Amino acid sequence: MAAWRVTGRSPSSDPPAPTDPPTFTPAPRGIAERSRTALRNVLADDFSSEHDYAAKNSARYLHTLNGLQLRARPAPTRIVDIGFYPGHLARAVHAIVGGELHGLGPRFPPAFHTGARSRGIALHECDVERRLLPFPSGSVDLILATEVLEHLAAPALMLTECRRVLAPAGLLLLSTPNLLSLRGRLRAILGRSPQSHLFGIREIFCHNEWVHRREFVAHEVAALLRGSGFALLDLHTWTPTRLDRWKPLGVHARGAPLLQLGGSIHVAAVPDPAGHAAGRAGDRARLRTVPSALDLRCGENASLEVSIENLGTEIWDSQAARPVNAGLHLLDVDGQVLDLDLARAPLPGTVQPGQTVPVTIPFRGPLAPGAYVLEADLVREHVHWFADDGSPTARALLRIS
């Protein structure tokens, strides 16, 4: 495999034979200049109009770009950026290492779609808290998930999906604000929340996707990644300083490496071959309800057909000591749970990883007329509902008259 490709540079010596491809480790000064050039070119061709955001985050962009180039990795065929908008960092990475670039996000402006398409970037509108990543298992070489984790109320699905789609030699680069940075600790001493990136109570209640749902400390990020099947290559905190524009790798705030006081947490992680096979992380399903809407009378008995595919690593058995069963939750139209245990139904025998089975879940409709939502999920009895650890559910509209 070729190493990270570096554009615009000729080798200083004769290339080795094709059977022994080179690994390229440039000098730090060369790394820094290459990062600045790539980012400068991207910002000169910015089609997002997020110029203020770029100005505030350019030091973080450069820190990530520099760190990436110091790692001798196979040349990526496919790069995926989760939380792609406005695309500055991912496009700079793509300019340096090549490959095909895919951007994910809950939604993109129409003009942004047009700009990305004209530059050969594939955009995918995907809610990573509720949907599987739209890529086959083991098909992605590099995933960027920078400043995304803090926006998710439940990050388990995204992280385990990253583990699924990454190739065995793939790399995950993740960054997120550090809750216990020096600034956060000072705010706590003064009686204020250390989570300083909230946009205000009104926006939180409106569930604005720009709001930070939860910020993390370094050991929590490490536990999340290990629990999702990753091995950590590097985890450090970092704070930009005025010297960052000159230093090739950025400068840690004094004491930050020891006390984890940096403003952001940066992680490089790879799939752990032994880290994805055990426990709750192995319970993953794809569910589809048939039909997608039902009309019933008050209190009427009915059933919902659910197609269930085992996307995890565990065998499901309704006769085991801790059996796996299908279940229904009853929600109102705003998504609030009205009945967590509306109905249960056993699976038809054992279900192997990769197998799809149909399950019929009988239930009784609500006694009050109105509109409701049926949510189908799986439960490993006395352990967890699958959705609690990131597995997506399936919903059907229920109209009662």
Mean pLDDT across 155-167: 89
Write down the pLDDT at residue 280. 55
Which has more confidence, 278 or 117?
Answer: 117
Greatest Cα pair distance, the chain, in angstroms, is 80
Mean pLDDT value across the chain: 82
Residue 383: CB atoms within 10 A of its CB come to 14
Coil, strand, or helix at residue 78?
strand
Coil, strand, or helix at residue 71?
coil
Mean pLDDT across 140-167: 90
Is the pLDDT score of 241 beyond 90?
no
Write down the pLDDT at residue 204. 44
In sequence order, what DSSP letters do the residues of 235-277 get, joined into one string?
Answer: EEEE---GGGGTSTT--PPTTHHHH--SSEEEEEEEE-TTSSS
Residue 1: CB atoms within 10 A of its CB come to 9
Is the pLDDT score of 314 beyond 60?
yes
Cβ neighbours of residue 64 closer than 8 Å, sequence gap 6 or more? 89, 93, 144, 146, 173, 175, 266
List C-alpha distances in Å: 396 to 294, 335, 344, 371, 388. Answer: 7, 12, 16, 11, 19
Which has more confidence, 196 or 347?
Answer: 347
pLDDT tier, 281 (very low <50, low <70, confident <90, very high otherwise): low
- % of the chain at pLDDT higher than 70: 82
In sequence order, what DSSP letters do the residues of 192-235 get, joined into one string?
Answer: S-S-TT---HHHHHTT-TTS-S--B-HHHHHHHHHHTTEEEEEE
Write down the pLDDT at residue 146. 96
Residue 69: CB atoms within 10 A of its CB come to 25
Write down the pLDDT at residue 198. 56
Residue 255 backbone zone (phi > 0: left; psi -120 to 50: alpha; other: beta): left
Write down the pLDDT at residue 238. 85
Is the pLDDT score of 39 beyond 80?
yes
Specify the CATH number of the domain 279-400. 2.60.40.10
Write down the pLDDT at residue 361. 97
* Domain parsing of the chain, residue ranges: 28-271, 279-400
Q: Poorest-confidence range of 78-92, 188-202, 288-302?
A: 188-202
pLDDT tier, 210 (very low <50, low <70, confident <90, very high otherwise): low
In sequence order, what DSSP letters do the residues of 326-379 get, joined into one string?
Answer: EEEEEE-TTS-EEEEEEEEEE-SSEE-TT-EEEEEEEEE--SS-EEEEEEEEEE
Q: Which CATH class is domain 28-271?
A: alpha beta
Q: What is the pTM of this model?
A: 0.70
Maximum mean pLDDT: which of 5-14, 28-37, 157-166: 157-166
- C-alpha of 337 from chain center: 25
CB 4 within 8 A of CB 73: yes
Mean pLDDT across 164-186: 90
Q: Poorest-confidence range of 29-43, 106-120, 232-246, 357-371?
A: 232-246
Which has more confidence, 257 or 108?
Answer: 108
Maximum mean pLDDT: which of 97-106, 158-167, 223-232: 97-106
pLDDT, one tens digit per residue, over 89-125 is: 999 999 999 999 999 999 999 999 999 999 999 999 9
Q: Poorest-confidence range of 79-93, 224-238, 339-353?
A: 224-238
- C-alpha of 273 from chain center: 19
